[in-house]
């Protein structure tokens, strides 16, 4: 099949970018979307041009590295599918594809289709963990976990941190990403001691990174390649309310921003 690509090219974070048009000939429907870009890049290099820079690694939909907006949709047209698992059979011969990086203030473009998603790591660092130093654990079966809660926790933990939810959101909010982690840990008994502090700290970091607020468009859920649902946001909001009535109140009384 033959396609026309309009690809965002940008030298670095300081230089303005622009769309450049490429013809992609003889593309096999069995290629993944990234393999199609590989083919285009090989031809660019052979022609003495710089290839299109894009992030990718595992190419099996689990590492969360890849991600581009195709015709306005993060990771392209197929639901619950990362760009690396999207295959060209999802497109038709003669299609025109506009390919852009994630667009969000908190994700500066580094080059072409590559953005800096370090903000997501900093949200995790703010509280997305259970403080259980290595060597301190009781027997794993000492604390039974209701199966339904373990399953719901796993549903949320499936987040791959790709950032598609941010790219899809009109407010460039990272609520779904943050809520997925708050849900994953908050549903497990192991996550209870830090549950409310976690929600408070992670949301504070999310705001500090310049992500927008949630106004219930639910575009994030539609774009999520792992099917994370907005229920997680509901749970996080509930934890946040509880946090303001517990750790937050005590912190305010003691004038201690550290809480507790």
Q: Which of residues 117-146 bind other proteins (CB under 8 A)?
A: 117-118, 120-121, 124-126, 128-141, 143-146
- The greatest distance separating any two alpha carbons of the chain, rounded to the nearest whole angstrom, comes to 68
Residue 260 neighbours by CB distance under 10 Å: 8
Own/partner long-range contacts of 21-30 (Cβ < 8 Å, ≥24 apart)? 26/1, 26/2, 27/1, 27/2, 27/3, 27/88, 28/1, 28/88, 29/1, 29/87, 29/88, 29/89, 30/87, 30/88, 30/89
Nearer to other proteins, 69 or 188 (CB): 188
Q: Within 189-228, which residues bind other proteins (CB under 8 A)?
A: 190-191
User: Which of 12, 21, 96, 215 forms a contact with other proteins (CB under 8 A)?
Assistant: 12
- Residue found under tokens 């490429």: 22
- The footprint of other proteins on this chain (CB under 8 A) covers a number of residues equal to 79
User: Which of 42, 93, 207, 256 forms a contact with other proteins (CB under 8 A)?
Assistant: 42
- The answer to whether 105 contacts other proteins (rule: CB under 8 A) is no
User: Which of 16, 48, 170, 260 forms a contact with other proteins (CB under 8 A)?
Assistant: 48
Angle, vertex CA 219, rays to CA 216 and CA 223, nearest 5: 145
Whether 104 and 220 have beta carbons less than 8 Å apart is answered as no
Binding to other proteins by CB under 8 A, coded x per residue (else -) over 73-92, reads: -----x-xx---xxx-x---
Nearer to other proteins, 118 or 213 (CB): 118
CB of 141 to other proteins, least distance (A): 5
Q: Within 227-246, which residues bind other proteins (CB under 8 A)?
A: none
Stretch that binds other proteins, among 33-41, 166-174, 206-214, 231-239 (CB under 8 A): 33-41
Nearer to other proteins, 159 or 175 (CB): 159
Query: CA–CA distance from 207 to each of 62, 105, 174, 177, 202 (Å)?
Result: 27, 12, 9, 13, 9
Nearer to other proteins, 193 or 245 (CB): 193
Nearer to other proteins, 94 or 144 (CB): 144
Instruction: Give dist(CA 188, CA 121) in Å, integer.
Output: 22
Pairing of strands 18-24, 3-9: antiparallel
- Residue found under tokens 């396609």: 3
Instruction: Give dist(CA 66, CA 237) in Å, integer.
Output: 29
User: Which of 1, 150, 222, 242 forms a contact with other proteins (CB under 8 A)?
Assistant: 150
User: Which of 7, 24, 40, 111 forms a contact with other proteins (CB under 8 A)?
Assistant: 111
User: Which of 17, 91, 175, 184 forms a contact with other proteins (CB under 8 A)?
Assistant: 184
User: Which of 22, 33, 40, 55 forms a contact with other proteins (CB under 8 A)?
Assistant: 55
């Amino acid at each position: 099949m033959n396609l026309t690509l309009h690809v965002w090219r940008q030298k670095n974070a300081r230089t303005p970018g622009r769309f450049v048009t490429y013809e992609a000939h003889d593309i096999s429907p069995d290629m993944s979307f990234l393999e199609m870009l590989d083919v285009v890049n090989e031809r660019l290099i052979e022609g003495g041009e710089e290839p299109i820079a894009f992030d990718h690694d595992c190419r099996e939909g689990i590492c969360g590295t890849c991600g581009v907006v195709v015709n306005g949709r993060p990771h392209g047209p197929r639901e619950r599918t990362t760009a690396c698992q999207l295959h060209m059979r999802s497109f038709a011969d003669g299609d025109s594809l506009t390919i852009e990086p994630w667009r969000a203030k908190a994700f500066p473009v580094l080059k072409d289709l590559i953005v800096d998603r370090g903000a997501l790591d900093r949200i995790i660092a703010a509280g997305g963990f259970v403080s259980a130093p290595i060597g301190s654990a009781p027997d794993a079966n000492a604390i039974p976990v209701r199966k339904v809660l373990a399953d719901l926790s796993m549903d949320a933990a499936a987040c791959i941190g790709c950032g598609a939810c941010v790219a899809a959101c009109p407010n460039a909010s990272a609520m779904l990403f943050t809520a997925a982690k708050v849900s994953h840990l908050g549903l497990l008994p192991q996550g209870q001691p830090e549950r409310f502090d976690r929600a408070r700290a992670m949301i504070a970091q999310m705001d500090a990174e310049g992500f927008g607020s949630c106004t219930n468009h639910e575009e994030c859920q539609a774009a999520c390649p792992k099917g994370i649902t907005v229920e997680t946001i509901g749970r996080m909001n509930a934890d946040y309310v509880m946090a303001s009535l517990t750790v937050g109140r005590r912190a305010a009384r003691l004038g201690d921003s550290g809480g507790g």
